[in-house]
């Protein structure tokens, strides 16, 4: 058999000869040891190495969106249909996609497999913005503010090298000729255009340029799972061309309208109750009940299906539809396996616009775990962990890699599902695995559940380097604990000296969090439906420390909150993967009083209390609300400039944590052990650093943390330790001990303190301490 293939200079096998069953020789591909961009652009900054195809959807001087017209807002009015088409995301997707087709740049990047370490190496520490909560300089937009060079200089001092903008494209819906506001924090996108509330496309491009000048990256969002009720949904309701194929929507014939709920005046749809859902399923119109109802609220959302009002189509036929929405009623779900492939075109076009036109480096895939749904023979429909979700995510992530970017996903699923979807899909996944465990450890001073989460992930093959370890974001402290409450509900685990099922464990952890963080112990934190608790990082710590009235916090109280907050940062930053934080973390924001956001809570969404407006750079000290009208909250730590001028501030101490992370390349290390601990509040994580950075020697980094409010001491032991190796504090460089013959060493930790330790064998030429005496 003749060999087919070639090798690269370092001897890494580039292709492998494979013999087909019929004896015909074909070439099978194996990954090279270095990537194409590293080989070709080794001297360029990592963020700029990959060839990036470019396109332009709208010119710099593009005309504004056409004004609303007159006449009926339905399919009988050609002017209304044309007005919708101008705003259609599917229409824009078709325009921009043509600019990429047939271009050589589309074939210059590897795209088949996720590459988490390349993604982490490109952008290791993220600032996650929330557009409507950022206080800006008078007359300056959100995007204009994020593109301020002074802000990026401050980010560089702290150690931040990427900004995730959050959703900034137009969102909400259209009711006739009128645009309606977002129902989910701009995660109900209806256009590729930047929402004027947040700035312009020119300002977005400028932000990307300023980021690059400061060795940084910009990360945008796409939402593969749903849109808002914008032009595309309204055209779908009117049965225009392929538009119904964008969504999971089914036309219900008039003779069965008696099965549908009445739509109240002033509304465009009504949620099905369980009885209507079952009846439509029995008649064969919909697949019926799904595995769970996200955001369940009696009388508001009882099922994942809603029925539209009567809509006149472009053919003059009046129709009613039933459509799927995993999330809120205003977020119709995208159908990824319709013969028109219209939904796929819409989502891919939106991604190409962000990467090739606006200039971003990466995209978050929001709500991408719910892209496949199928009727089951018995029980609820198969709606989570579906193969179609994996296939669709592979297509999206592959396309993004093909144009030189990377993706991360937010999947609150079982650990196995996160692992499986990461094998061919997004490069990184949000860490829903350990986040509840970290907050539980802070709330209780006990790390046992956190250690169990870490070990479970390690044993099931989830590499922490593929995860985004975040502090607070715009969402709740989630305690759905899907891994334990669903797939492993009947499996037994050791916890607090007894055997307990996964389902019972999930209930116990939820009960702990609710008791410790809400009610009498934390009246400023609120339960959010069945998903979790609305709170900030600072308010989690305050409740854990027994502070019932935030107005009575003293200077010493704030210092202890700051120490515990830094401990949470150490946990997330001193392990492999991305470390992410928000403005609410950097400034130590407290929740808003319920009275200040009461109208926003009417739908049951208590998360608004944790989204206080904040002024990062102190540009508008007199502001009481953001430009979007969100009330300004109370900051415990002060603005970033104030903190950078104070050596003991949260920002400066966080910078020290991130310096250790960067200098020792912890972000791309390998986690190899979560050993037993000498005290309930202690946590130990053992990581292997890249031998290539240490002359081929095995060097370990060990994170040791104290989640308790008391000083502790004890031994740290792991089978991965080598006896007679010195133990050095990475922060100070001081030697604090040696590994003994039992493969252990002693530590002493103050309350909420942490150590990042280096275990590096001495050079062979140096004297090595032995147990023998002269």
- The Cβ of residue 140 has, within 10 Å, a number of other Cβ atoms equal to 17
- Residue range 142-167: mean pLDDT, rounded: 97
Query: Are 676 and 572 found together in one domain?
Result: no
Query: Are 593 and 708 found together in one domain?
Result: no
What does the alpha-carbon distance between residue 478 and residue 610 come to, in Å, rounded to a whole number? 13
Largest CA distance in the chain: 100
Q: On the CB side of 573, how many CA atoms lie within 13 Å of its CA?
A: 28
Condensed to tens digits (0 to 9), the pLDDT of residues 444-493 reads 999 999 999 999 999 999 999 999 999 999 889 999 999 999 999 999 99
- Residue range 127-137: mean pLDDT, rounded: 95
- Residue range 556-560: mean pLDDT, rounded: 98
Percent of the chain with pLDDT over 70: 91
Which one, of 205, 67, 220, 143, lies nearest residue 627 by Cα? Answer: 143
- At residue 177, the pLDDT reads 97
- At residue 63, the pLDDT reads 58
Residue 99 lies in a domain: no
Query: Are 532 and 633 found together in one domain?
Result: yes
What does the alpha-carbon distance between residue 455 and residue 467 come to, in Å, rounded to a whole number? 15
Query: Are 485 and 523 found together in one domain?
Result: yes
- At residue 410, the pLDDT reads 85
- At residue 50, the pLDDT reads 55
- The Cβ of residue 760 has, within 10 Å, a number of other Cβ atoms equal to 17
User: Residue written as tokens 């040791």?
Assistant: 704
Query: Are 571 and 471 found together in one domain?
Result: yes
Point out the domain boundary residue: 633, 659, 685: 659
316: left (phi over 0), alpha (psi -120 to 50) or beta: left
Query: Are 738 and 646 found together in one domain?
Result: no
SS3 content of the chain, % helix, strand, coil (to 5): 35, 20, 45
The angle formed by the CA atoms of residues 254, 255 and 257, to the nearest 5 degrees, is 60
Would the CA dihedral through 657, 659, 663, 666 be positive or negative? positive
What does the alpha-carbon distance between residue 571 and residue 618 come to, in Å, rounded to a whole number? 29
Residue 601 lies in a domain: yes
User: Residue written as tokens 């989460």?
Assistant: 453
User: Residue written as tokens 């070709």?
Assistant: 40
Point out the domain boundary residue: 637, 659, 681: 659
Query: Are 510 and 588 found together in one domain?
Result: yes
- Residue range 542-555: mean pLDDT, rounded: 98
Average pLDDT, the chain: 91
Phi, psi of 407 (to 5 degrees): -130, 155
- The Cβ of residue 692 has, within 10 Å, a number of other Cβ atoms equal to 8
Q: What residue spans of 375-476 are helical by DSSP H?
A: 387-402, 415-424, 435-444, 448-459
Return the exposure string of 505-525: e unless at least 16 CB atoms fall within 10 Å of the residue's CB, then b: bbebbbebbbebbbeebbebb
Query: Are 502 and 456 found together in one domain?
Result: yes
Look up the pTM and report it. Answer: 0.88
Query: Are 604 and 652 found together in one domain?
Result: yes
Q: Domain of 532?
A: 431-659
Residue 682 lies in a domain: yes
The angle formed by the CA atoms of residues 454, 481 and 383, to the nearest 5 degrees, is 115
Quote the number of domains for the chain. 2
Query: Are 503 and 650 found together in one domain?
Result: yes
- At residue 603, the pLDDT reads 79
Q: pLDDT band at residue 616, thresholds of 50, 70 and 90? A: very high
Q: Find the helix or strand (DSSP H, E) in which 342 lies.
A: helix 342-352
What does the alpha-carbon distance between residue 376 and residue 383 come to, in Å, rounded to a whole number? 10
Residue 253 lies in a domain: no
Query: Are 654 and 551 found together in one domain?
Result: yes
- At residue 46, the pLDDT reads 44
Q: Find the helix or strand (DSSP H, E) in which 27 lies.
A: strand 25-29
- String of DSSP letters for 633-691: --BSS--HHHHHT-TTSHHHHHHHHHHHHHHTTGGG-EEEE----SSTTEEEEEEEPPG
Q: Find the helix or strand (DSSP H, E) in which 727 lies.
A: strand 726-729
- At residue 415, the pLDDT reads 94
- At residue 509, the pLDDT reads 98
Kindly list the distances between the CA atom of residue 376 and the CA atoms of 287, 373, 768, in Å, as whole numbers in the listed order: 8, 9, 65
49, 69 Cβ separation under 8 angstroms = no
CA 725 to chain centre: 39
Residue 611 lies in a domain: yes
Map residue 361 onto helix, strand or coil: coil
What does the alpha-carbon distance between residue 368 and residue 383 come to, in Å, rounded to a whole number? 12
Which one, of 95, 327, 92, lies nearest residue 228 by Cα? Answer: 327
DSSP 154: H
Phi, psi of 604 (to 5 degrees): 95, 0
Condensed to tens digits (0 to 9), the pLDDT of residues 69-113 reads 889 999 999 999 999 999 999 999 999 999 999 999 899 999 999
Point out the domain boundary residue: 659, 686, 710: 659
- The Cβ of residue 750 has, within 10 Å, a number of other Cβ atoms equal to 11
Would the CA dihedral through 280, 284, 286, 292 be positive or negative? positive
**338: exposed, middle or buried (C-beta count within 10 Å: 0-12, 13-18, 19+)?**
middle
In sequence order, what are the residues at sequence separation of 6 or more whose Cβ sits closer than 8 angstroms to the Cβ of residue 45?
A: 215
Look up residue 385 and give its two tokens: 């962990």
489, 503 Cβ separation under 8 angstroms = yes
DSSP 487: I
| pLDDT for residue 12 is more than 80 | no
Residue 605 lies in a domain: yes
Query: Are 678 and 601 found together in one domain?
Result: no
In sequence order, what are the residues at sequence separation of 6 or more whose Cβ sits closer than 8 angstroms to the Cβ of residue 553?
A: 542, 547, 561, 636
Residue 180 lies in a domain: no
What does the alpha-carbon distance between residue 416 and residue 486 come to, in Å, rounded to a whole number? 12
Phi, psi of 523 (to 5 degrees): -65, -15
In sequence order, what are the residues at sequence separation of 6 or more whose Cβ sits closer than 8 angstroms to the Cβ of residue 368?
A: 224, 225, 389, 392, 393, 396, 409, 410, 411, 425, 426
Look up residue 270 and give its two tokens: 């009504």
Would the CA dihedral through 471, 134, 407, 340 be positive or negative? positive
- The Cβ of residue 303 has, within 10 Å, a number of other Cβ atoms equal to 22
- String of DSSP letters for 496-531: TTEEEEHHHHHHHHHHHHHHHHSTTT-TTSEEETTT
Domain at 676, CATH number = 2.60.40.1180
What does the alpha-carbon distance between residue 570 and residue 473 come to, in Å, rounded to a whole number? 17
Residue 440 lies in a domain: yes
617, 583 Cβ separation under 8 angstroms = no
Condensed to tens digits (0 to 9), the pLDDT of residues 248-268 reads 999 999 999 999 999 999 999
Condensed to tens digits (0 to 9), the pLDDT of residues 361-409 reads 999 998 888 899 999 988 899 998 899 998 999 999 999 999 999 999 9
User: Residue written as tokens 């001073």?
Assistant: 445
Would the CA dihedral through 514, 516, 521, 523 be positive or negative? negative
CA 225 to chain centre: 14
- Residue range 417-437: mean pLDDT, rounded: 91
Look up residue 570 and give its two tokens: 């150490």
Q: pLDDT band at residue 35, thresholds of 50, 70 and 90? A: very low
Percent of the chain with pLDDT over 90: 83
- At residue 592, the pLDDT reads 98
- Residue range 692-710: mean pLDDT, rounded: 96
286, 322 Cβ separation under 8 angstroms = yes
**324: exposed, middle or buried (C-beta count within 10 Å: 0-12, 13-18, 19+)?**
buried
- At residue 9, the pLDDT reads 34
Condensed to tens digits (0 to 9), the pLDDT of residues 710-764 reads 999 999 999 999 999 999 999 999 999 999 999 999 999 999 999 999 999 987 6
Would the CA dihedral through 530, 536, 537, 543 be positive or negative? negative
């Amino acid at each position: 058999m003749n060999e087919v293939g070639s090798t690269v200079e370092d001897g890494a096998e580039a292709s492998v000869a494979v013999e087909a069953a019929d004896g015909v020789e074909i070439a099978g591909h194996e990954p090279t040891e270095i990537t194409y961009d590293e080989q070709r652009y080794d001297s360029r900054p990592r963020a700029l190495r990959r060839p990036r195809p470019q396109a332009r959807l709208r010119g710099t001087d593009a005309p504004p969106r056409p004004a609303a017209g007159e006449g009926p807002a339905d399919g009988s009015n050609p002017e209304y249909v044309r007005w919708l088409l101008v705003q259609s995301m599917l229409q824009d997707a078709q325009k921009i996609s043509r600019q990429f087709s047939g271009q050589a740049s589309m074939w210059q990047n590897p795209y088949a497999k996720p590459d988490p370490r390349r993604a982490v190496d490109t952008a290791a520490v993220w600032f996650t913005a929330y557009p409507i909560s950022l206080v800006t300089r008078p007359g300056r937009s959100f995007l204009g503010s994020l593109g301020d060079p002074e802000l990026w200089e401050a980010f560089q001092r702290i150690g931040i090298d990427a900004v995730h903008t959050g959703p900034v494209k137009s969102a909400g819906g259209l009711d006739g000729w009128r645009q309606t506001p977002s129902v989910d924090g701009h995660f109900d996108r209806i256009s590729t255009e930047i929402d004027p509330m947040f700035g312009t496309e020119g300002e977005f491009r400028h932000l990307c340029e300023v980021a690059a000048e400061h060795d940084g990256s910009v990360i945008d969002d796409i939402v593969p799972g749903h849109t808002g009720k914008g032009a595309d949904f309204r055209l779908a309701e009117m049965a225009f061309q392929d538009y119904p194929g964008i969504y999971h929507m089914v036309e219900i014939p008039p003779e069965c309208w008696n099965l549908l709920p009445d739509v109240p005046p002033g509304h465009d749809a009504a949620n099905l109750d369980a009885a209507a859902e079952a009846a439509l399923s029995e008649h064969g119109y919909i697949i019926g009940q799904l595995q769970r109802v996200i955001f369940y609220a009696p009388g508001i959302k009882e099922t994942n299906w809603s029925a539209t009002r009567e809509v006149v189509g472009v053919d003059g036929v009046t129709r009613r539809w039933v459509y799927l929405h995993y999330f809120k009623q205003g977020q119709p779900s995208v159908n990824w396996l319709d013969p028109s492939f219209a939904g796929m075109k819409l989502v891919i076009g939106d991604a190409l616009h962000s990467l090739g036109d606006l200039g971003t480096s990466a995209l978050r895939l929001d709500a991408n775990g719910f892209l496949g749904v199928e009727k089951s023979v018995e029980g609820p429909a198969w709606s989570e962990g579906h193969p179609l979700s994996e296939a669709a995510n592979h297509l999206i992530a592959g396309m993004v890699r093909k144009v030189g970017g990377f993706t991360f996903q937010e999947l609150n699923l079982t650990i196995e599902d996160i692992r499986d979807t990461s094998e061919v899909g997004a490069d990184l996944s949000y860490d829903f695995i350990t986040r509840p465990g970290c907050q539980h450890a802070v709330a209780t001073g006990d790390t046992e559940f956190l250690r169990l989460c870490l070990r479970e992930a390690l044993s099931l093959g989830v590499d922490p380097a593929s995860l985004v370890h975040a502090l607070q974001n715009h969402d709740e402290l989630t305690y759905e604990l899907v891994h334990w409450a669903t797939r492993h509900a009947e499996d037994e685990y050791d916890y607090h000296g007894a055997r307990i099922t996964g389902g019972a464990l999930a209930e116990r952890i939820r009960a702990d969090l609710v008791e410790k963080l809400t009610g009498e112990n934390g009246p400023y934190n609120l339960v959010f439906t069945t998903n979790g608790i609305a709170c900030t990082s600072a308010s989690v710590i305050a409740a854990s420390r027994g502070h019932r009235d935030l107005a009575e916090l003293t200077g010493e109280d704030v210092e202890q909150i700051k120490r515990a907050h830094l401990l949470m940062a150490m946990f997330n930053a001193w392990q492999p993967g991305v470390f992410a934080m928000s403005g609410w973390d950097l400034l130590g924001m407290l929740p808003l009083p319920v009275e200040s956001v009461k109208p926003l809570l009417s739908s049951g969404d208590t998360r608004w209390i944790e989204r206080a407006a904040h002024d990062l750079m102190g540009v508008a000290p007199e502001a009481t609300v953001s430009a979007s009208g969100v009330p300004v909250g109370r900051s415990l730590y002060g603005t970033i400039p104030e903190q950078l001028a104070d050596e003991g501030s949260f920002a400066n101490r966080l910078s020290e944590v991130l310096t250790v992370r960067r200098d020792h390349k912890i972000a791309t290390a390998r986690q190899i052990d979560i050993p037993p601990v000498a005290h309930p509040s202690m946590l130990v994580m053992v990581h292997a650093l890249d031998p290539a950075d240490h002359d081929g020697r095995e060097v370990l980094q060990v994170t040791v943390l104290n989640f308790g409010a008391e000083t502790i001491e004890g031994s740290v032991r792991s089978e991965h330790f080598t006896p007679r190796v010195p133990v050095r504090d990475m922060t100070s460089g001081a030697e604090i001990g040696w590994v003994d013959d039992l493969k252990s060493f002693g530590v002493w930790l103050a309350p909420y303190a942490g150590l990042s330790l280096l275990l590096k064998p001495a050079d062979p030429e140096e004297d090595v301490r032995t147990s023998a005496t002269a």
